[in-house]
Structure 1
Amino acid sequence: MTEFTTTARGDRLAFDRYGEGPALVFIAGAGPFRAGDPITTETAELAAREGLTTLVFDRLGRGESEADGVLDLDRELAAIRAAIEAATGNANTPAVLCGHSSGCSLAVAAAAAGLPVNGLALWEFPLTDDADDTAAWIAEFERLLDAGDLEAAQRQYMRDMPPEFLAQASGSPAWPAIVQSARTLRADGQSLVWATRALAQGDLARIRVPVLTMYGTETFPVMRTAASLVVGAMPQAVEKEVAGAMHSWEPAPMAAELAAFTLSCPLPA
């Protein structure tokens, strides 16, 4: 059943919460929201059975988390903070964050910003070591977004994804809705720019929580390369291959990995 909380920025955040125990909060990447993402919901339900509190929320401007105006990284971090508090019941109790795709850069940015995070589980983090190219890509995306050309902005955001992703999306009946959701991707872009710069400057080494970076058994080579970048940059990072394909995971094995990882992450005494 949908629950709601309000962020420090005044945004109303919709979420589903399952189970009881150490907290695990899922952060979607570009596009997904609860009603259209049964894989994450099933994973959260399965992980909760292993002794966790799991929380899945609609990112700002998606699903039932209606939000107007500029949806930037600061507002998204406020939403993540509110989600952590909703999962733990306490503003100071930490949670493990599970990011999917660009949700990984949001999760890492949250940890770097000092939010109460005691572990990071990162699924197919699209991290690159070319900070200048990432910044130029997102600058053009934001220019198109601010000009009101949402379709061009959406195409720009998907520029470096596998071509079949854009072909499938643009040819589907859902394309108009996908285009409208482009306004929710600003935080994704800004967090990816931040992450690539932090990688280049060695700042990711300052994140001192356990990190599990994962990719699917059937995935794109770039995802394995990105996982190696994470392991090389973050002191407590390990990588693992988990059952999955086409940038997504299989719920049962992913839930098992997430439960084991979350239960291994230390909580304050």
Structure 2
Amino acid sequence: MTEFVTSADGTRIAYRAVGEGPAVVIVDGALCHRAFGPSTGIADRLADGHRVFGYDRRGRGESGVGPGYAVEREIEDLAALVAAAGGSATLFGLSSGGALALRAAGAGIGVERVAVYEPPFSTTEEQRARFSAYRAGVGEDVAAGERGAAVARFMAFVGMPEPMIDGMRQSPGWPVFESVAPTLVTDAEALDGAGGAPVPVERLAALTVPVLVLDGGLSPESLRDAARETAAAAHAEYRTLEGQTHEVAPEALAPVLAEFVAKG
């Protein structure tokens, strides 16, 4: 059943909570929300022994847009969800949702611990330059109202071949992508920090809660390098899920998250 919390700026944030036990809030990555993406499957797998909150980040699914897409507003959204969970929770962030979760963990909103899966930070100058160009381009696309162009730019940035992107433009699901295209700007902001999406070493080093960083054994080395550097900066536990890619399977992930939460 969908429920709602009201964020600090009055925006209604839709969520679904399942299970009973310590609270876990799942933060989706780019373009994803409860009806489209991995969070609902992960929540259902983790619900045995946990109260798991899957939510639609603002501007996605059933959540409101609010006056803007600033990272600070998204942290306020998470604060409202943590309050609904009883005032404390573990955050789990997928991909760029991991960058947001790591920011929120240091914001004093009741985060007890944070786990992330492959936050896509840049670890080389080439990657930083490429990300900066992407961030500028997607911002221009959204500002011009070119939502389809923004989605296509994101897909190309993450390595999708052009013929596949062209095919997806013709699919029935393309309007869903376009509907959440403005949120690509916020995802880029959550990653960017000093520019180019570097691993935010100082911010991570300042975290005072336990951190778990995960990657997949079959994921690209760029993502695995980012995971290792993130873990080192945060003095975090680092684990590899063998046989997994960036599209991690809920059945592989849930037991590892349950073990991490149980350490609390």
Task: Give the letter aligned to residue 73 of structure 2.
Answer: R
- Quote the offset at 1:237 in angstroms: 3.5
Identical-pair percentage: 33
1:127 alignment partner, one of 108, 121, 129? 121
Matched pairs, number: 258
Q: For residues 171 and 110 of structure 2, what CA distance do their matches in structure 1 show? A: 39
Task: Give the letter aligned to residue 119 of structure 1.
Answer: R
- Coordinate RMSD, CA, aligned: 2.3
1:228 aligns with 228
1:104 aligns with 98
Contact 1:27–1:56 (Cα < 8 Å) also in 2: yes
1:154 alignment partner, one of 130, 137, 151? 151
Q: 1:114 to 1:197 in 2, by over 3 A?
A: farther
- Quote the offset at 1:112 in angstroms: 2.6
SS in 1 for 2:181: helix
Aligned pairs for 1:1-269 within 5 A: 1-37=1-37, 39-49=38-48, 51-87=49-85, 89-90=86-87, 94-129=88-123, 130=125, 131=128, 133-164=130-161, 166=165, 169-194=168-193, 199=199, 202-245=202-245, 247-265=246-264
Q: For residues 133 and 80 of structure 1, what CA distance do their matches in structure 2 show? A: 29
In structure 1, the gaps of 5 or more residues are none
Q: For residues 166 and 120 of structure 1, what CA distance do their matches in structure 2 show? A: 33
Q: 1:200 to 1:8 in 2, by over 3 A?
A: closer
Higher relative contact order (CA 8 A, sep 6+): 1
Alpha-carbon displacement from aligned partner over 1:154-192 (angstroms, at most 9, x marks no partner): 233334202247456435321232123111222211001
Q: For residues 77 and 122 of structure 2, what CA distance do their matches in structure 1 show? A: 25
Task: Give the letter aligned to residue 147 of structure 2.
Answer: L
Q: For residues 159 and 136 of structure 2, what CA distance do their matches in structure 1 show? A: 21
Q: For residues 211 and 200 of structure 1, what CA distance do their matches in structure 2 show? A: 14
Contact 1:212–1:240 (Cα < 8 Å) also in 2: no
Q: For residues 199 and 105 of structure 2, what CA distance do their matches in structure 1 show? A: 14
- Quote the offset at 1:121 in angstroms: 1.2
- Quote the offset at 1:239 in angstroms: 2.8
Contact 2:95–2:119 (Cα < 8 Å) also in 1: yes
Q: For residues 8 and 108 of structure 2, what CA distance do their matches in structure 1 show? A: 15
Task: Give the letter aligned to residue 152 of structure 1.
Answer: A
SS in 2 for 1:36: coil
Q: For residues 158 and 95 of structure 2, what CA distance do their matches in structure 1 show? A: 11
Q: 1:242 to 1:62 in 2, by over 3 A?
A: farther
Task: Give the letter aligned to residue 160 of structure 2.
Answer: P
